[in-house]
Structure 1
Amino acid sequence: MERIWTKSFIQMTLSMLMLFMGFYLLLPTLPLFIKEIGGNEAQIGAAAGAFTITAVLFRPLVGGLLDRYGRRPFMLGGFLVFILSMYLYDWVGGLLSLFALRVLHGASWAFTTTAVSTSVTDVIPESRRGEGMGWFGMAMTLAMATGPMLGVWMLDNGSFHALFLAATGLSVVAFLLVAPVRIPFQPKKAGGKIEMFDKSVLPVTVCLFFLAVAYGGITTFLPLFSESIQVNPGTFFLVYAISLTLVRPIAGKLSDRIGERYVIVPALIVTILSLVILSFAGGLLSVMIAAVLYGIGFGAAQPALQVLNLRLVPPHKKGVANASFMTAFDLGIGLGAIILGWVSQLMGYSVLFAVCAASVAVSVLLFIIMQSLKSGKQKQAG
C-alpha cells in the first residue's frame, strides 16, 4: 500500500495547522480591535466582507496560475505577503488603512490556501486521496476548535500587540515548514490563455455551495442562538470538532474503497438531520446531539466532495479544480451569513436552522440528479 505519511505530507499538514491557527486567532478578536479604533458594527461586517470578496475574486486566477506555472512560487510568495499582512495589523491606526490591509490579507489568503491545498494533492497517492485529504483537513478542524479560544484568552491576558505578533509568528512557522517541501507537479508549457474554470467541476461546486450556506449559518449564528437558550456556545463547537476529527479518516478510507458518492449522500442526510434537531433544540442535550451529527455529516461530506471534484479534471487542472471548490465554499459561507441574517431577524433561529437544513437538502438532491444524469450518459455511451 502506498504511503500517505511522507515527510512532505506531514510538513504541509502542520503548515496548514499553523496557518489556520494564526487566522483563527484573529477571527473573534478583530471585531474588538475594529471597535477600539473607532469602527461600528457595519464597518466590522464590511471588513469581513472585504477579506472574503477579495479571496473569492483572486482564487480562480490563482488556480489557473498554479496549473500553468507550478505551485511553489505562488505558494511561497503568498506566504510572505500573508506574514507581512499579519504583522501590519499592529501598525493600523485607522479604518482606511485597515480596509486596505484586509484586501491585501484576503489576496494572500487566496494564494496560500489554494496553493497548499492543491500541492498536498500532488504528494498524496491517488488510491488513498480520500483518506489523505481527510487527515489534511483535520489540521483546519483543530485550528478552528482551538484558535478562537486561544485568541480570546491571549487578548484577555495580554494586548492586541501580543496577539498580532503571535499570529505573525505562527504564520512564519507555517512558511518555514512548507518552504523546503518538494512538489512533484510539473507545470505545462506556456501557451494560450490561463484557464480559471473547468465546467466539469460545476455540479460538485454547486452542491458544495448549498452545503456551505448552512455552514455559514452555523458559524455565524450558533453562538447567538446558544446564548439565547442559555447554553455555552463553545460546547457545540468542541463536540462538533471532536466528532469531525474522529470521522474524517474513517470517511476518507470509505470513499477510497467504495467511492465518494456512497459517502456523500448519507453524510448530507445526517447533516440535514442535525440541522432539523438544532431548529427544535431547547437545551444542552439537543445541542450536543446536533453537534455530534453535524460533525459526522459535514466531516464526511466535505472532503469526499473535494476528492470527487479532483477526479473530474485531468491532473494538470487540479489547481483550477481546487480554486473552484474553495471559491464555492467561501461564497456559500459569505452569502449564507448575509441571507440567514435576514431570516434570523424576521423569523428567529428555529426558522434559520430549518432554512439551513433545506439548503443541504437542495445539495443532496442536486448531487443525486447529477449522478443519475452521469450514469445515464455512461449507459448511452456504452
Structure 2
Amino acid sequence: MERLWTKSFILISAGTLFLFNAFYMLYPTLPLFIQQIGGSETHVGLSMGAFMLTSVIIRPIVGGLLDRYGRRRFIVWGLLLFILAMYMYDWIGGIVVLIGLRVFHGMTWAVSSTAISTAVTDIIPPSRRGEGMGWFSTSMTLAMAFGPMIGLLLVQHLSYHALFRFAVVLSALALLLILGARIPFRPQADTRKIELFEKSVLPVSISVFFMFFAYGGITTFVPLFADSIKVNSGLFFLVFAATLALSRPLSGKLSDRYGERAVIVPALIVTIAALICLSFSTGSFGLLASAVLYGIGFGSAHPALQSATLRLARPDRKGVANASLATATDLGIGLGAMILGWISRYTGYSVLFQVSAMTVVLSLFVFALVVRRSLTANPGHTDNPRNAAG
C-alpha cells in the first residue's frame, strides 16, 4: 500500500489547520466589529457578500494558472497577501475601507486556499485518495469547530487588536509549515490557453452546489433556530464537528475500497434525514440527533465528492477542477444563506430546513442520474506526477 502519512502531507495538513482557524475566527467576530465601527446589518451583508463574490470570481482564474505554472508560488504569494490582509483589519476605521479590504481579502483567500487544496491532491497517493482527502478535510473541520470559539474568546477577554494579531500569527505559521512540504507538479501539456472551468466535473460541481446550498442555511440559521427553542446552538456545532471529524477518515477508506458511489448515495440520504429531523425538532434531543446525522452524512459525502472530482479530471487539470468545485461550494453557501433567509422570513425555520432537505434531494438526483454514469464510464486517470517541485 502506498504511503499516505508523508512529511509533506503532515506539513500541509497542519498548515491548513492553522490557516483555516485564522479564517474562521472572523466568522462570528467580524459582524460585531462592523457594528463597533458604526456599521449596520446591511453593511455586514455587504462585507460578507463582497468577500464571497470576489472569491467566486477569482477561483476559476487561479485554477487555470495553477495548472500552467505550478502550486508553490501561488501558495507563497497568496499566504503572504492573506497575512497582510489580516494585519490591515487592525487599522480599519470606516465601512467603505473595510468593504474594500474584504474584496482584497477574498482575493487572497481564493488564491491561497485553491492552491493548497490542489497541492495536497498532488501529494496523496491515487490509491488512497479518498482516505487522504478525508484526513485533510478533518483539518478544516477542526478549524470550523474551534476557530469561531477562539475568535469570540479573544474578543470577549482581550480585544479586536488581539484577534487580528493572533490571526496574523496563525497565518504566518501556516506559511512556514507549508513551505516545508515538497509539492510535485506535472505541467499542463496544452499551453495554448488557460482554462477557467473543467467540463468533466460540471455534474459533480452541480451536486456539490446543492449540497452546500443546504449547508449555507445550516451555518446561518441554526443559531437563530436553536435560540428560538431555548437550546444552546454551540452544542449542535460541537456535536456536528465531532461527528464530522470521526466520519471523514472512515468514509474516505470506504470510498477507496468500494468506490465513491458506494459512499455518496447513502451519505446524501442520511443528510436528507438529518435536515428533516431538524425541521421537526422542538428541543435539545432532536437538535443533537440531527447534528449527529448531519455530521455523518455531510462528513462522508464531501470528501467522496472531492475524490470523484479528481478521478474525473485529467491529472494536468487538477487545479481548474479543484477551483470549479470550490466555486460551486462558495456559491452554494452564499446563495443558500441569502435565499433560505428570505424563505424563513415568510415561512419559518421548519419550512427552511425542509427546503434545505429538498436541495440535498436535488444533489442526490444529479449524482445518481449523471455523476454515477460518468464515474462508470471513466474509471479514473493515472496520476504520475513528475518529481519537480511545483
TM-score, reference length from structure 1: 0.97
Q: Hey, what does 2:116 align to over in structure 1?
A: 116
Q: Distance in 2 between matches of 1:54 and 1:206?
A: 20
SS in 1 for 2:23: helix
Superposed CA offset, 1:76-106 (max 9, x none): 1000000000000001111111111101100
Matches within 5 A, 1:323-334: 323-334=323-334
- 8 Å CA contact 2:212, 2:329 repeated in 1: yes
Superposed CA offset, 1:211-260 (max 9, x none): 00000000000000000000000000000011111111110000000000
- 8 Å CA contact 2:308, 2:375 repeated in 1: no
Q: Hey, what does 1:102 align to over in structure 2?
A: 102
Q: Distance in 1 between matches of 2:247 and 2:191?
A: 43
Q: Hey, what does 2:382 align to over in structure 1?
A: none
Structure 1 residue 376 displacement after superposition: 8.8
1:198 is aligned to 2:211: no
1:186 is aligned to 2:191: no
Q: Hey, what does 2:92 align to over in structure 1?
A: 92
Q: Distance in 1 between matches of 2:160 and 2:371?
A: 50
Q: Hey, what does 1:361 align to over in structure 2?
A: 361
Shift in alpha-carbon separation, 1:360–1:169, aligned structure 2, 3 A: same
Q: Hey, what does 2:39 align to over in structure 1?
A: 39
Q: Distance in 2 between matches of 1:358 and 1:76?
A: 41
Structure 1 residue 111 displacement after superposition: 0.5
Superposed CA offset, 1:5-63 (max 9, x none): 10000000000000000011111001111111110000001000000000000000000
Structure 1 residue 178 displacement after superposition: 0.6
Q: Hey, what does 1:147 align to over in structure 2?
A: 147
1:241 partner amino acid: A
- 8 Å CA contact 2:189, 2:316 repeated in 1: no
Q: Hey, what does 2:388 align to over in structure 1?
A: none
Shift in alpha-carbon separation, 1:185–1:375, aligned structure 2, 3 A: closer
Q: Hey, what does 2:49 align to over in structure 1?
A: 49
Q: Hey, what does 1:282 align to over in structure 2?
A: 282
**Identical columns (%):** 59
Structure 1 residue 372 displacement after superposition: 5.9
SS in 2 for 1:231: coil
Q: Hey, what does 1:65 align to over in structure 2?
A: 65
Q: Hey, what does 1:249 align to over in structure 2?
A: 249
1:25 partner amino acid: M
- 8 Å CA contact 2:188, 2:317 repeated in 1: no
C-alpha RMSD of the superposition: 1.2
Q: Distance in 1 between matches of 2:255 and 2:142?
A: 22
SS in 2 for 1:5: coil
Shift in alpha-carbon separation, 1:253–1:278, aligned structure 2, 3 A: same
SS in 2 for 1:256: helix
Q: Distance in 1 between matches of 2:125 and 2:190?
A: 27
- 8 Å CA contact 2:17, 2:140 repeated in 1: yes
1:295 is aligned to 2:295: yes
- Count of residues in Structure 1 that have an aligned counterpart in Structure 2: 378
Q: Distance in 2 between matches of 1:372 and 1:31?
A: 41
Q: Distance in 2 between matches of 1:163 and 1:276?
A: 37
Q: Distance in 1 between matches of 2:23 and 2:376?
A: 44
Structure 1 residue 187 displacement after superposition: 2.1
Q: Distance in 2 between matches of 1:331 and 1:200?
A: 19
Shift in alpha-carbon separation, 1:185–1:344, aligned structure 2, 3 A: same
Structure 1 residue 179 displacement after superposition: 1.3
Shift in alpha-carbon separation, 1:84–1:376, aligned structure 2, 3 A: closer
1:166 is aligned to 2:166: yes
1:205 partner amino acid: S
1:236 is aligned to 2:227: no
Q: Hey, what does 1:17 align to over in structure 2?
A: 17
Q: Hey, what does 1:347 align to over in structure 2?
A: 347
Q: Distance in 2 between matches of 1:9 and 1:191?
A: 29
Superposed CA offset, 1:123-164 (max 9, x none): 100000000000000001001001111111111100110110
Q: Distance in 2 between matches of 1:112 and 1:135?
A: 19
Q: Hey, what does 1:219 align to over in structure 2?
A: 219
Shift in alpha-carbon separation, 1:377–1:28, aligned structure 2, 3 A: closer
Q: Distance in 2 between matches of 1:81 and 1:145?
A: 25
Superposed CA offset, 1:179-232 (max 9, x none): 122211132367311011121100000000000000000000000000000000
Question: Structure 1: any 5+ residue segments left out of the alignment?
Answer: none
Shift in alpha-carbon separation, 1:244–1:177, aligned structure 2, 3 A: same
Shift in alpha-carbon separation, 1:372–1:190, aligned structure 2, 3 A: closer
Q: Hey, what does 2:385 align to over in structure 1?
A: none
SS in 1 for 2:25: helix
Shift in alpha-carbon separation, 1:374–1:181, aligned structure 2, 3 A: closer
Question: Structure 2: any 5+ residue segments left out of the alignment?
Answer: 379-390
Shift in alpha-carbon separation, 1:159–1:371, aligned structure 2, 3 A: closer
Q: Hey, what does 2:258 align to over in structure 1?
A: 258
Q: Distance in 2 between matches of 1:341 and 1:198?
A: 31
1:128 is aligned to 2:128: yes
Q: Distance in 2 between matches of 1:86 and 1:280?
A: 40
Q: Distance in 1 between matches of 2:143 and 2:377?
A: 42
Shift in alpha-carbon separation, 1:284–1:72, aligned structure 2, 3 A: same
